[in-house]
Amino acid sequence: MTRIIAAATMLIFLMFGMTIQASAQGMPPAMQQEMPDIEVSDDELNTFVEISIEAQEVNMEAQEDMIELVEGAGLSVERFNEILTGMQQGQSQADMGMEDAEMERFDELMNDLEVIQEGIDEKVEEIVESKGMDMDRVQEIQMAVQMNPELQQKFQEIVQEKMGEQPGM
């Protein structure tokens, strides 16, 4: 059970990481290193953990849908990732050994996956709003948790506590 909680904690902690990274990448290098101390109350941290757990559940369900969609289009997840990585690295269709039909399936999948991702984003925003927060504050708290080891420890303790409360855990 401890391993499950530790894995869930890590997944939850990484949940908002890409959003924070994207925000930080737009900042000048000096600001990235000199972020001010962000005050986070115990109530905010508890709410943030609740949001993180619920958002992770949404992500896991969507991930299953995405896998089914990819496999339903006749591609393995590995092949899909291989094509995606190749395209991100600027490889041509020929370099990746893709037939036109496979490229068409991939393009259709990307459109379908984008729709699913938009749905995830909407659900997460609904979760955040239902907990009385906004996305900007969630991102600030995530950044504070990433940068402050004491806050990170408190976050992990609260996650473990809340995960232990859930039935079946």
Token pair of 22 as six digits: 């994207």
pTM for the model: 0.69
Tell me which H or E stretch contains 64.
helix 42-72
pLDDT the model gives residue 38: 85
Q: What is the dihedral of CA 3, 66, 16, 119, to 10 degrees?
A: -140
In sequence order, the 6+-apart residues with CB closer than 8 A to the CB of 120 are 58, 59, 62
Note the pLDDT tens digit of each residue in 28-70. Answer: 444 444 556 789 999 999 999 999 999 999 999 999 999 999 9
Q: What is the DSSP letter of 169?
A: -
